[in-house]
C-alpha cells in the first residue's frame, strides 16, 4: 500500500543515522510489546503480512508520530479488535473489562524457544518453472497494491538485473489477505543512476528481493 512507512528514497526522511551501541530495547515496555505481539499471533491466527499491514495501514500523521514499538502496539490492537479478542473500551481502559474469549491455542513460556527456532517458513513447493533467470534484465511494475507489499516505491518502474533465484515463496501482497499464492522470488540489483538519475552514484548497487508478479522483461 502507499503509506508513510515506505520512506526509502524520499527526500523528506533524511539520512539513516545508526545509534552507536544501540540496545535491543530502549525500555522495558518495548521488550513486553515485542513479547506480547509474538505471543498473540498464536491465538489470533494472523500471519506476518497481516501483522505488517496492521502497522502500516494508518494515516501518515499517526504513523510518523509514533515510535517503532508504539506502532507495533497499535497494529496489535487493530488485529485483536478485528478478531474480537479485545473490545474498544478495554483498549481505552488499559485492562480487561469483559470475560476472555476462548481461543484454540496459546503460547506458553516453555514453548517460546521452539517457536522462535521454528519461525514461519515461507518456502513452498515448486509447481511451475521460473519466468526469469540469473542475468536477465527486468523492469519492476508500477503497482499500487491496496494492502501490504514488499516492493518499495523507489524501485517501481526501474530496470535491474536478476542476480539470485530463491525458489517459490508465499506472496506477501495476497498473504496479507489470507491467501498464500506462492510465487518465484528473485534478488534484483539496480544501478545507482538507474534509481536516482544522473546525480546518482554509478558505483552504488541496490538489491531488492522481488516476487515474480512484481516483474516484467525489460
Question: Which pTM was predicted?
Answer: 0.90
Per-residue cell: 174 = 495476497
Cβ burial 102-111 (10 Å sphere, 16+ → b, else e) = eeeeebeeee
Give the chain's end-to-end CA distance (angstroms, integer).
Answer: 24
Asked whether residue 209 carries a pLDDT value surpassing 80, the answer given is yes
Q: Could you read off the pLDDT of 108-121 as tens digits, one per residue?
A: 889 888 888 888 89
Q: Read off the pLDDT of residues 29-66 as tens digits, 9 standing for 90 and up.
A: 999 999 999 899 999 999 999 999 999 999 999 999 99
Domain annotation for the chain: domains and CATH numbers: 11-118 (1.10.472.20), 123-217 (2.30.30.50)
Torsion of the alpha carbons at 81, 86, 91 and 93, rounded to the nearest 10: 160
DSSP structure string for 36-65: HHHHHHHHH---HHHHHHHHHSS-HHHHHH
CA quadruple 107, 119, 73, 58: dihedral positive or negative?
A: negative
Amino acid at each position: 500500500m502507499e503509506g508513510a512507512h515506505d520512506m526509502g528514497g524520499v527526500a523528506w526522511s533524511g539520512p539513516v543515522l545508526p545509534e552507536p551501541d544501540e540496545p535491543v530495547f530502549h525500555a522495558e515496555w518495548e521488550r513486553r510489546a515485542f513479547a506480547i505481539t509474538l505471543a498473540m499471533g498464536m491465538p489470533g491466527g494472523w500471519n506476518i503480512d497481516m501483522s505488517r499491514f496492521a502497522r502500516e495501514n494508518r494515516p501518515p500523521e499517526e504513523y510518523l508520530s509514533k515510535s517503532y514499538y508504539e506502532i507495533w502496539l497499535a497494529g496489535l490492537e487493530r488485529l485483536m479488535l478485528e478478531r474480537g479478542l479485545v473490545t474498544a473500551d478495554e483498549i481505552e481502559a488499559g485492562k480487561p473489562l469483559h470475560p476472555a474469549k476462548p481461543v484454540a491455542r496459546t503460547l506458553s513460556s516453555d514453548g517460546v524457544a521452539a517457536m522462535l527456532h521454528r519461525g514461519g517458513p515461507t518456502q513452498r513447493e515448486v509447481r511451475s518453472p521460473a519466468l526469469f533467470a540469473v542475468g536477465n534484465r527486468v523492469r519492476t511494475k508500477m503497482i499500487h497494491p491496496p494492502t501490504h507489499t514488499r516492493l518499495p516505491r523507489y524501485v517501481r518502474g526501474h530496470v535491474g538485473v536478476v542476480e539470485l533465484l530463491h525458489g517459490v515463496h508465499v506472496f506477501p501482497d495476497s498473504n496479507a489477505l489470507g491467501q498464500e499464492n506462492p510465487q518465484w522470488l528473485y534478488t534484483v540489483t539496480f544501478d545507482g543512476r538507474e534509481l536516482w538519475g544522473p546525480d546518482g552514484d554509478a558505483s552504488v548497487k541496490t538489491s531488492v528481493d522481488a516476487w515474480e508478479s512484481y516483474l516484467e522483461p525489460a
